[in-house]
């Protein structure tokens, strides 16, 4: 029974990881932009939301709306002010620029919030659970998984069927060719980054409700998002969702094998997938 519980809890944990990974799948998997600040932006939104809730006595769902809007603004500014200046076929300039910004953001957050851990109060919903057979499943993790599924389906539909999605895929494939057809690559990229960071607003609220947040947590969230995208396959939105599920289940089962093995189990599965199927579970094999 503990293994079934591990599977269920891993899938629920994967719902949270999927919210980390969706923005990464859009920026790194589709746009080929390496954004090292991905995890730090999530932490910044979390800490901002916690402070807003404490200062103005706001509920978590009000904070969620605010953080999604704030995330969209931060993403737009990030792309227009920094990334549009370094974007190109070579991912190294964006990696260097966002690495420097990541270090600055972590130090700024330490100055504002100190190194203390914080969390967002969610009321009774954080303790509520439902019984499924012999298992008890938390209501909040179910909401997180359902939200991640809806966000994944919505983002995938936008990329496949909307004019914006077609323009983004065209710009990602060939910036010059897309510009010749009337696409504004910088404008499209700015919109896509706004969407990517807005999704982190969901992750920020749910992470701070389920656990705790500290200014130094950003790199850990970045690693989980990166691993989920690679496991699922570059360029696949549903692949990132699947990769998050695999990562969550691996960690959950690993924790049941040994409390110190959980995180390592996820990293080992990532390395195994990378070795056996470098293109990811849903990625296309581009080897000749």
Domains assigned to the chain: 2-276 (1.10.3470)
108, pLDDT greater than 90 = yes
Confidence (pLDDT) at 288? 42
CA–CA gap between residue 156 and residue 148 (Å, rounded)? 12
Confidence (pLDDT) at 286? 44
Mean pLDDT of 54-79: 94
Confidence (pLDDT) at 39? 94
Q: Which residue in the block uniquely carries the two structure tokens 């990229």? A: 189
CA–CA gap between residue 224 and residue 69 (Å, rounded)? 24
> Binning pLDDT at 50, 70 and 90, where does residue 287 land?
very low
Confidence (pLDDT) at 1? 64
224, pLDDT greater than 90 = yes
Report yes or no: 263 and 247 within 8 Å, Cβ to Cβ: no
Mean pLDDT of 103-119: 93
Q: Comparing 142-146, 151-155, 208-212, which segment has the lowest mean pLDDT?
A: 208-212
CA–CA gap between residue 215 and residue 114 (Å, rounded)? 8
Closest by alpha carbon to 146, among 274, 6, 14, 2? 14
DSSP states of 86-107:
H-SS-SHHHHHHHHHHHHHHHH
Report yes or no: 207 and 226 within 8 Å, Cβ to Cβ: no
Q: What share of the chain is helix, strand, coil (3-state, %, to 5)?
A: 75, 5, 20
Mean pLDDT of 217-239: 92
DSSP states of 35-81:
-TTHHHHHHHHHHHHHHHHHHHT--HHHHHHHHHHHHHHHHHHIIII
Average pLDDT, the chain: 90
32, pLDDT greater than 70 = yes
CA–CA gap between residue 166 and residue 190 (Å, rounded)? 15
Its sign, for the CA torsion 22, 18, 63, 101, is negative
Closest by alpha carbon to 22, among 118, 174, 137, 158? 158
> Binning pLDDT at 50, 70 and 90, where does residue 92 land?
confident
284, pLDDT greater than 70 = no
Report yes or no: 257 and 207 within 8 Å, Cβ to Cβ: no
Structure-model confidence comparison of residues 76 and 33, the more confident one: 76
Q: Comparing 22-26, 91-95, 256-260, which segment has the lowest mean pLDDT?
A: 91-95
CA–CA gap between residue 153 and residue 86 (Å, rounded)? 30
135, pLDDT greater than 50 = yes
Span 177-198, pLDDT tens digits = 777 888 888 888 899 999 999 9
């Amino acid at each position: 029974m503990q293994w079934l519980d591990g599977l269920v809890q891993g899938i629920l944990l994967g719902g949270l990881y999927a919210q980390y990974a969706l923005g990464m799948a859009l920026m790194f998997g589709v746009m080929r932009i390496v954004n090292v600040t991905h995890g730090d932006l999530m932490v910044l939104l979390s800490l901002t939301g916690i402070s807003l809730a404490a200062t103005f006595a706001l509920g978590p769902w009000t904070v969620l709306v605010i953080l999604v809007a704030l995330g969209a603004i931060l993403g737009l500014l990030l792309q227009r002010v920094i990334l549009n200046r370094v974007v190109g076929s070579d991912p190294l300039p964006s990696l260097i620029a966002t690495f420097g910004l990541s270090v600055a953001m972590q130090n700024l957050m330490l100055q504002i919030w100190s190194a203390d851990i914080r969390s967002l109060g969610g009321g009774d919903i954080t303790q509520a659970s439902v019984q499924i057979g012999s298992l008890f499943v938390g209501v909040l993790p179910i909401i997180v998984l359902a939200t991640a599924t809806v966000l994944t389906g919505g983002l995938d539909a936008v990329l496949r069927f909307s004019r914006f999605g077609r323009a983004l895929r065209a710009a990602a494939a060939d910036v010059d060719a897309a510009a010749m057809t009337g696409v504004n690559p910088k404008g499209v990229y700015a919109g896509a980054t706004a969407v990517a960071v807005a999704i982190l607003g969901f992750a920020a609220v749910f992470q701070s409700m389920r656990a705790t947040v500290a200014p130094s947590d950003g790199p850990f969230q970045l690693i989980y998002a990166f691993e989920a995208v690679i496991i699922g396959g570059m360029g696949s939105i549903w692949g990132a969702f699947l990769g998050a599920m695999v990562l969550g289940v691996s960690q959950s089962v690993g924790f049941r094998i040994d409390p110190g093995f959980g995180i390592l189990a996820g990293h080992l599965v990532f390395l195994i997938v990378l070795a056996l199927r470098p293109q990811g579970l849903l990625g296309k094999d581009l080897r000749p």
